Amino acid sequence: MSLKDLLDNSKDKSLSGQKWHMLRQSITKRLLSGGNSTIAELSTELQSSVPTVTKAVNELLTEGYVIDMGKITNSGGRRPSLYSINPTCAYFLGVEVGISSMSIGLQNIKNELVSVELGTSFILENTQKSLLKFCELINSFIEDSSVDKKLIVGVCINFSGRINSMEGFSYNYFFSENRPLNEIISEQLDLPVHLENDTRAMAFGEYCEGVVDDEQNIIFVNYSWGVAIGMITDGKLYYGKSGYSGEFGHSTIFNNDIMCQCGKLGCLETEISGWSLINQFKEAVKEGKQSKVTIDESSSTLQHTAIIAGAVNLEDTLCVDLVTQQSEKMGRYLSILLNIFNPDLLVIGGDFAQLGDYALLPIQSALKKYSLGLVNRDMKLKKSALGRRAGVIGACCVIKEKMLFPLINN
């Protein structure tokens, strides 16, 4: 029996079988959502006798769903044992795909990352060959990990761009009209697959395991090659009707006649993004500005990180000037979101978060200048805590939530 079976309806249709399944299930749910417990606590909460609960817990111990954490130290008299869900009873796989690399991570049920590979070389192309290679890399990762595949509950894959998570379609990459992409990948991996927008997964990663404390209304900004936001409202990811929410970078803001990557003119990304930073840098150098950083002309992507590194590591004046100017502009346009959403917390993530105060201070100052004082006063601004791992950790958390939350709360 898998953890999912344990949390699902009983297959034993006899009354006694169903009753026993429900007790085992209630103990598991209680340990999953409420943390560690003693037999006495479980007995009181589940209104079942101590001997019955003991028998069920022993069974779950033998089957590997529960572990004995040892005796409680701070109670007088006979010290009871504390029980916990076994962290190795179920795993969740998270995958993030970029244009030239992919990252994979495996988390146990206690959200501990047990295996991770960041930045594995992979060229994302809209071909069947590229899709098969992608699945092959995931299968190899699973084989190389020490985890039994049967214990992996599901996989979440993050793509950039338009993702319809509900129907399993990716519109920017590996699009097929005939069949949802999650079904195709699921067949290759022999595991349930969920597709997620990369920024939304990063936002959820920060919410579950990153910089978020107890805030429930959060805007996460993925300030990288492109710009997008992930929103959490009342502790839940916000999708919008079809899952396309968060395309902040493609808001038409500037009258600059610069063509955006989406095909429209004057999007936010045309002046505030990694790719526009490269153009601004090249323009400045052409005008005669000096810099210690050189851009690799043969590589069309990801060179914005060289400029970011130039600011952080070399304190290169041109790099610092450009990223500061962009961040000040970013703060100005984020102030619109603050006025509309009044979040508890604004998180700056993505490649530009590596800039630290070079990005955060101009953003903060612009937010103060342009947003309403009352809205700004009760909002915190933080930098991503998970950095490059945000996407993979977020993907693991998303699939755990999708697979277990409906079962735990039914």
3-class SS at 94? strand
**Spatial distance between the Cα atoms of 212 and 231, rounded to a whole number of angstroms:** 13
Structure tokens at 346: 């604004």
Q: What is the dihedral of CA 272, 274, 278, 281, to 10 degrees?
A: 50
Structure tokens at 218: 């959060």
The stretch near Zn ion (CB under 5 A) out of 116-124, 264-272, 365-373, 380-388 is: 264-272
Nearer to Zn ion, 267 or 407 (CB): 267
Nearer to Zn ion, 219 or 260 (CB): 260
Q: Does 267 bind Zn ion (CB under 5 A)?
A: yes
Distance of closest approach, residue 250 Cβ to Zn ion, in angstroms:
4
CB 367 within 8 Å of CB 240: no
**Spatial distance between the Cα atoms of 224 and 324, rounded to a whole number of angstroms:** 15
**Spatial distance between the Cα atoms of 306 and 278, rounded to a whole number of angstroms:** 9
**Spatial distance between the Cα atoms of 386 and 392, rounded to a whole number of angstroms:** 10
Nearer to Zn ion, 250 or 382 (CB): 250
Q: Where do we find the tokens 């894959």?
A: 157
The stretch near Zn ion (CB under 5 A) out of 30-38, 161-169, 259-267, 300-308 is: 259-267
Q: Does 408 bind Zn ion (CB under 5 A)?
A: no
Q: Does 93 bind Zn ion (CB under 5 A)?
A: no
Instruction: Give DSSP secondary structure letters for 182-200.
Output: HHHHHHHHTS-EEEEEHHH
Q: Does 30 bind Zn ion (CB under 5 A)?
A: no
Q: Does 265 bind Zn ion (CB under 5 A)?
A: no
Contact set for Zn ion, span 288-307 (CB under 5 A): none
The stretch near Zn ion (CB under 5 A) out of 32-40, 135-143, 184-192, 265-273 is: 265-273
Distance of closest approach, residue 276 Cβ to Zn ion, in angstroms:
11
**Spatial distance between the Cα atoms of 354 and 137, rounded to a whole number of angstroms:** 28
Helices within 227-355 (DSSP H only) = 274-286, 304-314, 317-341
Q: Which residues pair with 158 in a beta bridge?
A: 96, 196
Instruction: Select the residue interacting with Zn ion from 260, 293, 323, 367 (CB under 5 A).
Output: 260
Q: Does 262 bind Zn ion (CB under 5 A)?
A: yes
Q: Does 258 bind Zn ion (CB under 5 A)?
A: no
Structure tokens at 199: 């920024």
Nearer to Zn ion, 264 or 289 (CB): 264
Helices within 145-214 (DSSP H only) = 181-189, 198-209
Distance of closest approach, residue 162 Cβ to Zn ion, in angstroms:
12
How big is the site for Zn ion, counted in residues (CB under 5 A)?
5
Distance of closest approach, residue 299 Cβ to Zn ion, in angstroms:
22
Q: Does 227 bind Zn ion (CB under 5 A)?
A: no
Q: Does 250 bind Zn ion (CB under 5 A)?
A: yes
Q: Does 228 bind Zn ion (CB under 5 A)?
A: no
Q: Where do we find the tokens 């399993």?
A: 168
CA distances (Å), origin 364, targets 217, 248, 360: 18, 18, 6
Nearer to Zn ion, 201 or 267 (CB): 267
Q: Does 348 bind Zn ion (CB under 5 A)?
A: no
Distance of closest approach, residue 254 Cβ to Zn ion, in angstroms:
11
**Residues making contact with Zn ion (CB under 5 A):** 250, 260, 262, 264, 267
